[in-house]
């Protein structure tokens, strides 16, 4: 058998869990008192154990939510549908939330999929690209009347995610190892920001107006434009004070890495 045929047969049997694959076993020597399947079985078993371990490490809250048996079923489904195509094992589990969304069996598990999204975002934040956060004093250098012309660049780890309502609280309960009760499911949606603060992943729930504001700021809109958009879509009367507070929070939480001014509030340059 040529090397290419041998590797194809070997891999196919490992992926399908065929520890007694006749083509592979026929290619092996018989080692002493053992049968050929014992040695080949080491590779077959190791593959399953290894990929399951990657998923357990990256999705502990999801495992806690689903329970061991359901999580094991999810792992089997994911591994069967998504053989790893990455050299770096770190990224093998990255598609799990998307897989749950695409899968007929798992699509209905909205809260589980939301927890998976949270954990994926936190894992990504852990080793996202570095960025030097601007201290709050950077903002303080600008008079409030100049704020409408400000544009921002954010830490490379920052991600905004839309989740089923209550998932952030659910994630916290799952991560507390029983210290906090699991919230009941409820209708609607919520949003969260996930980023890295120092070396540690961080997150918090976002109200609808802050989610909108942060999305627009990430898209490069000036603070003045963001204020107009939020005032139009939300409660106009309370918008200015809340938005000013959002801005202060973004700086104090280390989300902003660069600050610039645009001449025209409607078409700002990138900072």
Partner 1 sequence: MEPLPRLGYGLGLRPAYYEEILSSRPAVDWFEIISENYMIPGGRPLAMLERFRSDYPIVMHGVSMSIASVDPLDMDYLAALKRLVERVEPAWVSDHLAWTGVHGVNLHDLLPIPLTFEALDHVVDRISRVQDFLGRRILIENASTYVAFAQSQLTEWEFLDEMTRRADCLLLLDVNNVFVSSFNHGFSAEDYIDAVPRERVAQIHMAGHTDKGSYRIDTHDQPVCEPVWKLFERARKRFGPVAAMIERDDNFPPFSELLAELQRMREIDAAICESQEQTAA
| 180 touches partner 1 (CB under 8 A) | no
Which residues, at least 6 apart from 97, have a Cβ–Cβ distance to it below 8 Å? 113, 116, 117, 120
Contacting range for partner 1; rule: CB under 8 A; set: 82-90, 112-120, 232-240, 252-260: 82-90
User: In angstroms, rounded to a whole number, what is the distance separating the alpha carbons of residues 91 and 217?
Assistant: 29
With residue 76 as reference, give the H or E element that holds it. Answer: helix 68-81
Euclidean distance between CA atoms 189 and 172, whole angstroms:
17
The least CB distance from residue 77 to partner 1, in Å, is 17
Considering only residues 19-58, where is the footprint of partner 1 by CB under 8 A?
26-29, 31-34, 36, 38-40, 42-43, 46-47, 50-51, 54
Taken in order 205, 208, 213, 215, the sign of the CA dihedral is: positive
Does position 197 interact with partner 1 (CB under 8 A)? The reply is no
Q: Does 6 bind partner 1 (CB under 8 A)?
A: yes
Q: What is the dihedral of CA 70, 166, 54, 6, to 10 degrees?
A: 60
Q: How far apart are CA 144 and CA 244, in angstroms?
A: 9
Report in angstroms how near the CB of residue 133 gets to partner 1 at its nearest: 13
Residue 132 touches partner 1, criterion: CB under 8 A? no
Which of 23, 84, 175, 228 binds partner 1 (CB under 8 A)? It is: 84
Q: Please select the residue that binds partner 1; options are 199, 219, 241, 263, rule is CB under 8 A.
A: 199
Q: How many CB atoms lie within 10 A of CB 52?
A: 16
What residue ranges bind partner 1 (CB under 8 A)?
1-4, 6-8, 10-11, 14-15, 26-29, 31-34, 36, 38-40, 42-43, 46-47, 50-51, 54, 83-90, 92, 126-130, 156-157, 196, 199
């Amino acid at each position: 058998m040529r090397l290419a045929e041998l590797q194809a047969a070997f891999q196919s049997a490992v992926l399908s869990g065929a520890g007694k694959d006749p083509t592979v076993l026929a290619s092996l020597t018989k080692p002493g008192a053992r049968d050929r399947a014992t040695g080949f079985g080491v590779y077959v078993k190791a593959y399953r154990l290894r990929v399951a371990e990657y998923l357990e490490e990256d999705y502990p809250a999801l495992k806690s939510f689903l329970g061991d048996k359901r999580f094991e079923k999810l792992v089997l489904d994911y591994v069967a549908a998504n053989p790893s195509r990455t050299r770096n094992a770190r990224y093998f589990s990255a598609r799990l939330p998307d897989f749950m969304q695409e899968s007929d069996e798992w699509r209905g598990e909205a809260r589980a999929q939301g927890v998976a999204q949270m954990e994926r975002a936190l894992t990504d934040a852990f080793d996202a690209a570095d960025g030097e956060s601007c201290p709050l004093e950077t903002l303080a250098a600008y008079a409030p009347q100049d704020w409408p012309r400000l544009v921002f660049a954010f830490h490379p780890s920052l991600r905004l995610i839309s989740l089923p309502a209550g998932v952030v609280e659910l994630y916290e309960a799952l991560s507390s190892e029983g210290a906090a009760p699991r919230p009941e499911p409820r209708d609607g949606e919520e949003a969260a920001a996930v980023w890295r603060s120092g070396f540690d992943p961080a997150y918090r729930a976002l109200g609808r107006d802050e989610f909108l504001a942060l999305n627009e700021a990430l898209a490069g809109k000036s603070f003045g434009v963001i204020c107009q958009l939020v005032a139009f879509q939300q409660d106009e009367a309370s918008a200015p004070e809340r938005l000013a507070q959002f801005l202060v929070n973004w700086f104090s939480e280390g989300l902003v890495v660069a600050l610039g001014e645009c001449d025209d509030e409607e078409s700002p340059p990138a900072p």
